[in-house]
Amino acid sequence: MRTPDVFIKGLGVHLPETTSIDEAVAQGLYPAFEAEVHELGGAAVAGDLPAPEMALRAAQEACKRAGHRPDETDLLLYADSWHQGPDGWQPQYYLQRHLVGDEALAVEVRQGCNGMFAALELGAWFLRGRSGTADGKDAGRAPTALLVASDNFGTPMMDRWRMGPGYVAGDAGSAVLLTTRPSFAQLLAVGSVTVSEAEQMHRGTEPLFPPGPTTGRSLDFQARNAEFKQAALASGSGTGALVRVHGRTLELVERTLSEAGIDLSDITRVAYMNYSREIVEQRCMAALGLPLEKSTWEFGRTVGHLGASDQIVSLDHLLKVGELAAGDHLLMLGVGPGVTLSSAVVRILHPAPWCG
């Protein structure tokens, strides 16, 4: 979807201190041979800090950096991929109570690791629909959407160090403030596609009922992935679904770049999932014909896979360290259960106000 009329007004991040892979190996939490193979550096660990509190801190920072009054937020989208608090309770209302107030439409986005991409797309549609419709006290004010993502994986049903093949889970909160008024960065295009024949990849052979969390069953994507591959081979379909995931990823990137009006040669950096070196290099960068140095792997390897926050935390990092400048383009790519594939292109128009 083309979105040149949507801008990023602010970014916020809450990133806890990290535990290094060496520490995890020494404590027997992470296999030493995997440390050598995957070259990961560590994971951000929030301890007992709740995910909604990290989301709130990130959202507060985004509003403060942008000089935005939280009560002038029109839409709040809360993306998450892990449990946020008591069952039957929804986390977006925590942010309404403590930050934006009760007038904004607030919705939880359960889209797994691609939740922020879904929020970007939904937020863009919302802002376009609201542009030019304000009246009364809101007359002349550009509509805004606050998108947040947050997860704390340090729970009894999750082993962050063995979450999945080639990655470890890190905790973080992130926030993006979108508006239709020109700002420091422009969201040129965003979109997603699904390869639904691979939905079993994140389900394995686990029964649909009763749901795992209600029985205390732990989450193990490594085991589920192995079960999916075994089932595919047994059915005679082989790994065709995985091949199609690869092909559709390239199609999606081509489409998103076309919608953004740029070529792959215009891409300055690529923010992918915070996975191992071989996954980032082989499944993403080499597939695009780009060197690993253009990716955010060197940073991502130090904080772990942050659920739906990987790409936004990477964007914030690149701005803070001066690795994105005016005229640069960031390609963001994500993979989530479904299997969903998502991408977006952001153009930097001028330095972020808090980085000047």
Does residue 276 have a pLDDT over 50?
yes
211: number of Cβ within 10 Å: 10
| Higher-confidence position of 225 and 301 | 301
pTM score = 0.95
| Mean pLDDT across the chain | 93
In terms of domains, do 223 and 142 share one? no
Q: What is the mean pLDDT of residues 92-119?
A: 97
In terms of domains, do 178 and 225 share one? no
- What is the C-alpha to C-alpha distance for residues 280 and 291, in angstroms, rounded to an integer? 10
In terms of domains, do 301 and 167 share one? no
Does residue 236 have a pLDDT over 80?
no
In terms of domains, do 177 and 193 share one? no
Q: Give helix 115-130 / helix 310-320 axis angle, nearest 10°.
A: 80
Does residue 42 have a pLDDT over 70?
yes
Q: pLDDT tens digit string along 160-203? A: 999 888 999 999 999 999 999 999 999 999 999 999 998 988 89
Does residue 215 have a pLDDT over 50?
yes
Q: pLDDT tens digit string along 114-142? A: 999 999 999 999 999 887 555 444 656 78
Q: pLDDT tens digit string along 53-77? A: 999 999 999 999 999 999 999 999 9
Q: What is the mean pLDDT of residues 28-39?
A: 93
In terms of domains, do 170 and 256 share one? no
- Name the strand (E) or helix (H) holding 43: strand 42-44
User: Contact at 8 Å (CB) between 325 and 348?
Assistant: yes
| Higher-confidence position of 309 and 213 | 309
In terms of domains, do 144 and 232 share one? no
In terms of domains, do 217 and 315 share one? yes
Sign of the four-CA dihedral 65, 66, 72, 75: negative
**Residue 126 is part of a domain; what is its CATH number?**
3.40.47.10
Confidence (pLDDT) at 136: 46
DSSP letters of 239-287? THHHHHHHHHHHHHHHHHHHHHT--GGG--EEE--S--HHHIIIIIIHH
Question: What confidence category does residue 332 fall into, taking pLDDT thresholds of 50, 70 and 90?
Answer: very high
Q: What is the mean pLDDT of residues 227-241?
A: 77
Confidence (pLDDT) at 134: 52
Q: What is the mean pLDDT of residues 251-267?
A: 97
- What is the C-alpha to C-alpha distance for residues 146 and 175, in angstroms, rounded to an integer? 7
In terms of domains, do 80 and 167 share one? yes
Q: Of 160, 182, 204, which closes a domain?
A: 182
Specify if 145 maps to a domain. yes
| Higher-confidence position of 131 and 46 | 46
Six-digit token pair at 322?
Answer: 């001066």
In terms of domains, do 115 and 232 share one? no
Specify if 356 maps to a domain. no
Does residue 238 have a pLDDT over 80?
no
Q: Of 140, 165, 182, which closes a domain?
A: 182
In terms of domains, do 87 and 50 share one? yes
User: Contact at 8 Å (CB) between 195 and 242?
Assistant: no
What percentage of the chain carries pLDDT values higher than 70?
A: 96
CA 271 to mean position of chain CA atoms = 10
Domain extent at residue 329: 189-350
Number of domains in the chain: 2
